[in-house]
Structure 1
Amino acid sequence: MTSCPIRFDPLSPEQLADPYPLYARLRREAPVFYAEAHGLWVVSRYEDVLAVVRDTETFSSQNAVRASVRPLPQPVLDVLATGWPMSPTLTDSDGQVHRRLRLLVTKAFTPKRVAELEGRIRENVDALIDEFADDGRADIIERFAWNLPMFTLTDMLGIPRADIPTLHRWSVSWLRILQATDSVEELVICARDVVTMQRYFMDEFQGRLGEDLMSSLLAARVAGGEPISHEEAMRVMINLIIAGHVTVTRSIGNGLTTLLAHSDQLQAVLNDPDLVPAMVEEVLRFESPAQGLFRTVRKGTVLNGVEIPAGAHLMVHWASANRDEQVFGESDVFDVTRDSMATHVAFGKGVHACLGAPLARLQLKIALPRLFERLPNLRMAAGADTAVRDTIFFARGFKRLEIEWDVHEPSAG
């Protein structure tokens, strides 16, 4: 068993602030290593990450979103037992179970459905900005970054917007259960939210006959296969709500701070709107919203000369792979002209590549430029604790991000 000579602690203040020097050392010195404190093997080089995600026979997606596979405390399990199992989902299933679910979701979540949302997303972006444009200062995470994707998703699903704050709170609780670093008392509260969220969607399925995504999923059929059950559809909806909004939320915050820190690149995009798609891909590569996901090793194997035992829990580190010097020239340079869409792994690769990636890209291409257009001289707000990183083991984003801009007269949408 290999021990890493470097302290790997994604929730430490130093690594929350800037993990990239550590990732570079890992790629150089210990590209496949065992982080004993977390009971976790970490794979940090691009080539090895792709080898793992492409070998689904050796590396199972079981527990793909669980940073730790230690059993949850019994009081938490007791609460969760009053609902339905949290898996399998699209993210943490394998083989035929995953293929069937993905086919059914693909039939409902079509490129045409995503493309038709562009006009509504533009309206939502401006409506949200209208609410704070004359204030001169805002926490952009609270006022904009999580509301936008939640507006988009609830519109798609035919869910009332009045339910958005509750759905957001439940989503945070679901992630805290997966991370399981809170106290037992806090995790019990989160478990209650998880079960309530499950019941919410099971109730929403009753009598669904509309044109929304939820109705389309329930009506989807695969030749020779079973239609999706309500329990399966409930997990798909929760998976979509959580992954579909936190990814965009994190990328908006990451994109703003990165562009503001690279004024020449920001100016290049403002001068040439044709650079916006490449800029979005570079934000995703440079500051990956999902730092990595996890795999379970089915059988003992060797990766990059390192023996990994059967049953091991392993992290495929998207963010480190996206800074791999062997793949991306000047990988620590933020370059909005870089062509990396087909190469970067911010949305994963292989059979588990994110189905919602086109929708996330569309929202970012609209939202990031529009914030700079609508908020003159946009900048980071002065004062302490204006940029507070979220504390999720396998993700990178902001819990709070205060920005300022010039206000000369009331803004019109």
Structure 2
Amino acid sequence: MTCPVSYDESAGLWRVRDPELVRRVFADPERFSPANALTAHTRLGVRALRILSAAGFALPAVLANQTGPRHRSVRRVVARFFTPDRVDALEPVVRRLNAARWAAVRARLARGEEVDLVASVADDVPALVLLDLLAPDDVDVPELKRWSRDFLELFWGVPTPEEQERLARCAARYYTWLRQRASAARRSPGADLFGALVRHGLADDEVCSVAYFLLVAGHETTSMLISSALRLLSADPGTRAAVAADATRADQVVDTLQARESSVPTWRRVTREETVLGGTRLPAGAPLLLRITDTSDTGELAFGWGAHRCLGARLARMETRVAVQDAAAAMPEVEPVEPDPPMIDLLSFRAPERVRVRLRQDIRHGRGALPRTRPSTTQEPAA
């Protein structure tokens, strides 16, 4: 029997696998602090630290790495951008963005090309939606994607000292942009995230701390979840057919992904004091790695639990559900090129780097026809 709490010497972390214990940790931030949530997993070298220091890089405890009354007050400010009404109003936007990308994918497939569904569909739609929701209008999506991937690699990967320097330079550019946005918002607070945080009384470095993680996690983890969904669907014609016939089945697919292949399979906490968890005595300052997927059939922990449950959970589920519905309708006749694609595999983030597909062999050889795309049953009418 696997021990529910055990020390992983190679990672330098206590692994917590039992879902009830994970829920208990999330529910008690006073004993199990989120202070290490944004701490680099691999100790950064002197050169990387100098690059970050020159940019004034700092992530003070405000939202993801904070608890208590101040955390709750800032969380309420950010939550206003993710209300059910605002998220639901974005579904037609998501469908229009997806429709354009699937039309391009099908045209390429019809020409006999192989297509990477991550680059063609999953990568940029969540970023475009997030920018629309939070309203920063002076950064393009390719740049935001570069910042995001390098940030995740720097803080949750195991980069070499040389790689750390490259990643730190990218992180410094991202942070410089954030400081410029915070300064602009202080001069003239607008209706976007930066203006809301400034009006709430946060200092510039605190605004940057909130925005630094939110503008990455708010789209990158969703892109990763959609990438996993497209990998599943490309290899499973039965599931594609079931969702195409009944679009409500997409929610079951999303549940399965959250439970077994979430883009965020683990998350971190640290003990504030000596404590006992699952019969194991932990010292004060013990870093914990909580397993939040592969723990149930429902995936209820995939977005966290308690005071730090992901504010964008509803948005991520909606975007992934729509992606599953649209993919099932748009590609009934494909097959995967790589059954086991290369993976993004970081401490707390996991997804396929690419999902390459092509038309089935019988269609490529002229023994079938490329069907016309059928919209999902919940497709929004064109405006």
Please indicate the TM-score interval, normalised by the length of the shorter structure: 0.7 to 0.9
Q: How does 1:60-99 map to 2 (within 5 A)?
A: 60-66=33-39, 68=41, 71-82=43-54, 83-99=56-72
Q: 1:185 to 1:194 in 2, by over 3 A?
A: same
1:319 counterpart SS class: coil
RMSD over aligned Cα atoms: 2.6
Q: 1:107 to 1:158 in 2, by over 3 A?
A: closer
What is aligned with 1:281? 255
Contact 2:59 2:208 in 1 (8 A): no
2:107 counterpart SS class: coil
What is aligned with 1:52? 25
**Are 2:346 and 1:392 aligned?**
yes
1:84 counterpart SS class: coil
Give me the whole-angstrom Cα distance separating, in 2, the residues matched to 1:72 and 1:307: 29
Q: 1:162 to 1:64 in 2, by over 3 A?
A: closer
What is aligned with 1:371? 327
What is aligned with 2:163? 186
Gaps of 5+ in 1: 1-27, 222-226, 323-327, 329-339
Structure 1 residue 209 displacement after superposition: 5.3
Contact 1:80 1:195 in 2 (8 A): yes
What is aligned with 2:281? 307
**TM-score, scaled to structure 2:** 0.85
**Are 2:315 and 1:359 aligned?**
yes
Q: How does 1:30-179 map to 2 (within 5 A)?
A: 30-66=3-39, 68=41, 71-82=43-54, 83-136=56-109, 137-160=114-137, 163-179=140-156
Contact 2:235 2:336 in 1 (8 A): no
Residue identity opposite 1:243 in structure 2: A
Across the two proteins, how many residue pairs are aligned to each other? 359
Q: 1:368 to 1:305 in 2, by over 3 A?
A: same
1:119 counterpart SS class: helix
Structure 1 residue 213 displacement after superposition: 4.5
How big is each residue's C-alpha offset from its partner over 1:357-376, in whole Å with a ceiling of 9 and x where there is no partner?
A: 11111111111110221224
2:354 counterpart SS class: strand
Q: 1:346 aligns with which of 289, 298, 302?
A: 302
Give me the whole-angstrom Cα distance separating, in 2, the residues matched to 1:251 and 1:306: 33
Structure 1 residue 398 displacement after superposition: 0.9
Contact 1:67 1:294 in 2 (8 A): no
Structure 1 segments (4+ residues) deviating >6 Å: 409-413
Structure 1 residue 181 displacement after superposition: 1.4
Q: 1:209 to 1:302 in 2, by over 3 A?
A: closer
Residue identity opposite 1:177 in structure 2: L
Gaps of 5+ in 2: 376-383
Give me the whole-angstrom Cα distance separating, in 1, the residues matched to 2:157 and 2:231: 29
**Are 2:357 and 1:403 aligned?**
yes
Residue identity opposite 2:345 in structure 1: T
Residue identity opposite 1:308 in structure 2: L
What is aligned with 1:204? 181
Residue identity opposite 1:117 in structure 2: L
Q: 1:103 to 1:159 in 2, by over 3 A?
A: closer
How big is each residue's C-alpha offset from its partner over 1:53-83, in whole Å with a ceiling of 9 and x where there is no partner?
A: 1121211101124473x64211111111122
Q: 1:321 to 1:261 in 2, by over 3 A?
A: same
Structure 1 residue 134 displacement after superposition: 0.9
What is aligned with 1:242? 216
What is aligned with 2:378? none
